[in-house]
Chain A
């Protein structure tokens, strides 16, 4: 058991399952979950959407439980539970009273050994097709997918997490089962627990519950996307009233040394009390403009995105580009960086003294997920903030490692009606 100075405890079971624990003595509850290192980018085109479909099927039956017993057991504990799938991971979690933690972990672990029941497969396919239909009615979802299509053509990061009506329609239960067997094993998973727990007890629980899982070799490295595409993509969708604009620039990946700088720059550009807020929204150009860093294990994107009325689209685009140019030329100020460090979302005290450990387990658990997956070790807010190097910002925005880049390198993904 490795107990770091950062407050996290990490341990690896003999079968290779990594465990990350954050004890929070002041709470009455505990959250636990499994992170599986598989998502849309780990799929092949003919199986697009299989990771997400599998997430649904893990709720449908194990050798010990049918779908009804799985959901009954969750609700018998009063658990707050769910699962989600992204480009690089699938996460299952539950948040319970601390006395129910072992029951919760046993249930989640049982789901990780799903039998993928044949009799539930076609019914769940209908549910997923409804989910795809729902996403078709969301301009935000369309923009997200379009941006990935524009930047990663031909690479698995291009494909939508939900898959398509065609790929889901063609998917068979056996294909899904094969994918499951290939991905859901200890070397490809992390168990995360946060809350009113004693780490030694959690590790013993994990050994009891997951210790018999077969040890397997880690999966091969993911294929890195090639040089990102540049240019302008436009899609006309008459259904929507608004027009969406996305400006996409290179940015540090999840493992890049400048990742925190990238996040700080995104906050300065497009967070609350940001340049976009004061210079675009409060100029009355558009009610919704933001910036953020999408990071994957080997690539990253800084995206600036906004929604406006069609006749103000050019004005919005000019304003967004103007802000990107300004930050490329002039960098950011010390005050702006400090403001981001102070923000509650970073759980940081303005004084460089201690962590703000006040938020409850579900919040902590949420933050553990990317840390556990990508960085090899969970990182506290203090750790993250010490990675911020304000001296870099003058050049960061403009050079090739950078977060903003030059406007001429901008790629535009645009939806218009």
Chain B
């Protein structure tokens, strides 16, 4: 597949880092503007500020009202969206090639000349407070919010909504200050893919963003995950118990990242995976069970999760742990190969979605500082051996883990 991937990567004169992947034959263009700022840059007494800023930056510019800006995107059929993360805020757009220039210009207008109208700032804070309460109705999200500080530490484990006290301290001045301090081309990564004239797009980025954020602060350096093992339970009336557990893994850039991917695929990659098979198919303990990883820059965390009725919770937890242990004992070549095929095949199927391929490029630029070809990644996956997985598991044992449960019954046996 990557035989048709042609990458470009350079620092633009406006200061932004730029990468592109040409994907011949595609019918759309997809681009991302990633700012190297996020929840980690929030003042500790104003948690939730990054998301409020991301919400309100689209609520009017010096030339357009909020609704006029939305209408302008709709007029060209551009699918624009944004999201706030721990370390980055990303603006994404998917559009027809002939409208790429207009879509990019609208983003530049939005990011460079936001007016942050007072009424929209007030509403964003009010809605944030309401959404905080709404999380109580989402047991899975609530459990994730609760385990994050234990998994990543107080800084990287922040939740995008902050809390009621800190949201209450956010005002328009704080929003404006966050934007001025953290949005600049020096902290901007631009990626584009699909059907696009790369040189022209890069020139447009230079022209539209030249001089943006000259007075902004430098970004934070590498941030360190502060993992705290332990067992936590949150009592809540519900039909099911939520179970989450985690322990440190490796960074995306680590030599063992491919080993981690294959290990996770064996454990929870499909309906033939060990967790699905042992927890659901053989014992009927759950409807949902999974294994995944999460990666702040320079680090990683392995997660297992499931939800089940309270009476089955202890057995579910012990089965989850047993299956991790068993990987070191009886992993077969057949399972290993299946996991590899699954990862590699999905680079080809999901890679057919332009915005998905572009999202991967954007992630690579953030983690690796360069585009990484599909072939390069797949070769690392192909090279993984059973011995590699055994070694990985011994070097990243599940023993020192954090467990978060949520539901109507405190757990027994989770510390075993």
Contacts and interface: CB of A to CB of B under 8 A. Distances in A.
Given A28-B1, A283-B123, A358 B28 contact: yes
B238 A137 contact: yes
Interface string A16-37: 0000000000111100000000
B308 to A, nearest CB: 6
A349 B287 contact: no
A348 B99 CA distance: 13
Contacts of A110: none
Interface string A288-308: 100000000000000000011
A284 interface: yes
A182 B162 CA distance: 54
Given A78-B344, A123-B284, A307-B134, A359 B139 contact: no
A284 B341 contact: no
Given A79-B345, A130-B284, A361-B352, A26 B27 contact: yes
B131 A344 contact: no
Given A74-B272, A77-B341, A308 B350 contact: no
Contact of B70 (A59, A129, A273, A359): A273
Interface stretch (B72-80, B180-188, B294-302): B72-80
A134 B136 contact: no
Interface stretch (A65-73, A320-328, A401-409): A65-73
Most chain B CB neighbours (cut-off 10 Å) among A79, A100, A128, A131: A79
Interface in A83-139: 95-97, 100, 123-131, 133-134, 136-137, 139
A29 B341 contact: no
B57 to A, nearest CB: 14
Given A67-B281, A130-B284, A342-B76, A26 B25 contact: yes
B94 interface: yes
Contacts of B365: none
B191 interface: no
Contacts of A309: 130, 133
Given A284-B126, A287-B130, A74 B309 contact: no
B2 to A, nearest CB: 11
Contact of B134 (A100, A127, A241): A241
Contacts of B321: none
Interface in B348-379: 348-354, 356
Contacts of B352: 27-29, 360-361
Q: How large is the interface on A (under 10, 10 to 19, 20 to 34, 35 or more residues)?
A: 35 or more
Nearest to B133: A241
Contacts of A123: 281-284
A357 B280 CA distance: 39
Is chain A's binding surface mostly helix, strand, loop or mixed?
mixed
Contacts of B356: 360
Interface core residue of A137, A278, A343, A356 (most chain B CB under 10 Å): A137
Nearest to B136: A241
A78 B338 CA distance: 8
Contact of A342 (B75, B122, B123, B139): B75
B271 interface: yes
Interface string B115-135: 000001011001100110110
B272 A343 contact: no
Given A26-B27, A284-B122, A131 B287 contact: yes
Nearest to A125: B284
A126 B308 CA distance: 11
A358 B28 CA distance: 6
Given A29-B349, A342-B75, A127 B272 contact: no
B165 interface: no
Nearest to A345: B79
A129 B284 CA distance: 9
A298 B133 CA distance: 39
Contacts of B272: 68, 71-72, 74-75
A339 interface: yes
A273 B74 contact: yes
A273 B139 CA distance: 29
9 contacts: A75-B271, A75-B273, A129-B309, A131-B287, A137-B239, A240-B137, A278-B66, A284-B127, A349-B96
Given A29-B349, A78-B341, 20 more contacts: A68-B272, A68-B281, A71-B277, A75-B270, A78-B342, A96-B349, A97-B345, A97-B348, A123-B282, A127-B284, A130-B309, A134-B307, A239-B237, A282-B120, A287-B131, A307-B134, A344-B95, A348-B77, A350-B75, A356-B28
Interface of A: 26-29, 59, 67-68, 71-72, 74-81, 95-97, 100, 123-131, 133-134, 136-137, 139, 238-242, 272-273, 278, 281-284, 286-288, 307-309, 335, 339, 342-344, 348-350, 356-363
